[in-house]
């Protein structure tokens, strides 16, 4: 293994991991030649401070938590140019899915022990970095419904519950969209732009999306009835948006999005900014520890 020192940040509010399993995993990393410094953090400020304080004395940051934990540290990781390893202890674990990292703790530790690294893209909207996806409309309502209590009680099923509750409250809006010099006008109830492959608890942003291809993928759902939306949900789940006549899709490197009215935009399930939104992809912007292609 090329990396010798690791800062392991554990979010105690994420999906519980058996302490014995964590200790066994840390022992596996140490057997692979990694010195592990473990720190608990229950808020972004603590995590950011730990990374900044140890940026010159660590070779890798291991984050044990969900997508919210990862999202809160992406700026500091990018700024410090530190490799990221993931122990997926969240509900959705979409970034881990996009990397092909197993969602079980023991094989996830094995990936880190293997030490294989690759460069992946990041997205940026109005100056803010994101890992998985940015959305306005229905997706924001779903994210607002995903309280910590709901996710704890229902796990991944919490996303389905939040979606069903939000469908009946969805409102349409107008969109003026520029993508790499191409202009489009749309009406929408949900617009999402993805950097990775997965978002929203395992939904696929686009059936051909990859996290290292240097592209962002956008889809927009036209206003339609509740039952139409429900019937189309399996297509959206698997990223087959192009098979629906009521869904607009486009891919590119730079997006300019204006909506009427102005809307709040969430990135990686967290409040981030409002439209108008200027978006771009940052190719090969973050080094991550991930399985080799043949292992995925």
167's enclosing H/E stretch is helix 157-167
DSSP state at residue 295? G
Residues 98 and 218 in one domain: no
Is the model's pLDDT at 174 over the cut of 60? yes
Residues 192 and 275 in one domain: yes
Q: Are strands 133-137 and 190-194 parallel, antiparallel or unpaired?
A: antiparallel
**Is residue 122 a part of any domain in this protein?**
no
Residues 181 and 264 in one domain: yes
pLDDT > 70: percent of the chain: 82
Residues 142 and 94 in one domain: no
Residues 16 and 144 in one domain: no
Residues 250 and 139 in one domain: yes
pLDDT > 90: percent of the chain: 60
Is the model's pLDDT at 159 over the cut of 90? no
Per the prediction, the chain carries an average pLDDT of 86
Q: Which pLDDT does position 17 carry in this prediction? A: 60
Residues 143 and 49 in one domain: no
Residues 15 and 107 in one domain: yes
Q: What is the CATH number of the domain that holds 154?
A: 2.60.200.40
Contact 253, 214 (CB under 8 A): yes
Which of 115, 142, 168 finishes a domain? 115
Given pLDDT bands bounded at 50, 70 and 90, which one contains residue 294? very low
pTM to 2 decimal places: 0.86
Is the model's pLDDT at 195 over the cut of 80? yes
Residues 135 and 259 in one domain: yes
**Is residue 74 a part of any domain in this protein?**
yes
pLDDT in tens, 213-259: 999 999 998 887 766 766 776 777 777 777 677 889 999 999 999 99
**Is residue 206 a part of any domain in this protein?**
yes
Residues 203 and 65 in one domain: no
**Is residue 77 a part of any domain in this protein?**
yes
Residue 169 CA to residue 117 CA, distance in Å, equals 43
Which tokens belong to 249? 């899709």
Give the total number of structural domains in the chain: 2
Q: Which pLDDT does position 115 carry in this prediction? A: 92
Report for 135-144, 202-211, 223-232, 281-290: range of highest mean pLDDT: 281-290
Q: Mean pLDDT over residues 11-34, rounded?
A: 82
Residue 235 CA to residue 223 CA, distance in Å, equals 16
Q: Which pLDDT does position 173 carry in this prediction? A: 94
Q: Which pLDDT does position 150 carry in this prediction? A: 47
> Which carries the bigger pLDDT value, residue 15 or residue 50?
50
**Is residue 187 a part of any domain in this protein?**
yes
pLDDT in tens, 107-138: 999 999 999 999 999 999 999 999 999 999 88
Q: E strands of the chain, at which residues?
A: 5-10, 35-40, 60-65, 84-88, 117-125, 128-130, 133-137, 173-179, 182-188, 190-194, 198-199, 203-204, 216-221, 247-252, 254-260, 264-267, 270-274, 277-289
Is the model's pLDDT at 278 over the cut of 90? yes
Which of 73, 90, 115 finishes a domain? 115
Residue 264 CA to residue 142 CA, distance in Å, equals 13
Q: Which pLDDT does position 274 carry in this prediction? A: 96
Burial class (CB in 10 A: 0-12, 13-18, 19+), 153: exposed
**Is residue 30 a part of any domain in this protein?**
yes
Is the model's pLDDT at 155 over the cut of 60? no
Q: Mean pLDDT over residues 37-56, rounded?
A: 93
Residues 175 and 148 in one domain: yes
Is the model's pLDDT at 16 over the cut of 70? no
Residue 208 CA to residue 29 CA, distance in Å, equals 34
> Which carries the bigger pLDDT value, residue 172 or residue 273?
273
> Residue 237 sits in which domain range?
128-283
Which of 54, 87, 115 finishes a domain? 115
Residues 226 and 279 in one domain: yes
**Is residue 294 a part of any domain in this protein?**
no
Burial class (CB in 10 A: 0-12, 13-18, 19+), 259: buried
Q: Mind giving me the DSSP string for 199-256? A: ETTTEES-TT--TTSS-EEEEEEPP--HHHHHHHHHHHHTT-GGG-TTEEEEEESEEE
């Amino acid at each position: 293994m090329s990396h010798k020192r690791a800062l392991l940040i554990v979010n105690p509010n994420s999906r519980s991991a058996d302490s014995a399993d964590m200790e066994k995993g840390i022992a596996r990393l140490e057997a692979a030649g990694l010195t592990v410094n473990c720190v608990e953090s229950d808020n972004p400020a603590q995590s950011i401070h730990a990374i900044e304080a140890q940026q010159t004395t660590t070779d890798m940051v291991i984050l044990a938590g969900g997508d919210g934990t990862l999202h809160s540290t992406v700026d500091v990781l990018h700024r410090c140019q530190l490799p990221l390893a993931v122990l997926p202890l969240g509900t959705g674990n979409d970034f881990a899915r996009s990397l092909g990292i197993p969602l079980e703790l023991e094989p996830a530790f094995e990936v880190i022990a293997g030490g294989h690294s690759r460069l992946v893209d990041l997205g940026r909207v109005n100056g803010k970095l994101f890992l998985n996806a940015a959305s306005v409309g229905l997706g924001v309502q779903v994210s607002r419904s995903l309280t910590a209590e709901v996710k704890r009680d229902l796990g991944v099923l919490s996303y389905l519950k939040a979606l069903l509750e939000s469908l009946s409250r969805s409102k349409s809006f107008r969109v003026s969209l520029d993508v790499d010099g191409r202009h489009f006008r749309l009406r929408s109830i949900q617009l999402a732009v993805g950097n990775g492959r997965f978002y929203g608890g395992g939904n696929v942003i686009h059936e051909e999306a990859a996290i290292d291809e240097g592209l962002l993928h956008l889809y927009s759902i036209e206003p339609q009835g509740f039952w139409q939306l429900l019937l189309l949900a399996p297509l959206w789940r698997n990223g087959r948006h192009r098979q629906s006549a009521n869904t607009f899709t486009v891919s590119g490197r730079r997006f300019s999005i204006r909506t009427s009215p102005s809307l709040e935009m969430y990135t990686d399930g967290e409040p981030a900014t409002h439209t108008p939104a200027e978006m771009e992809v940052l190719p090969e912007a973050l080094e991550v520890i991930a399985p080799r292609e043949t292992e995925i």
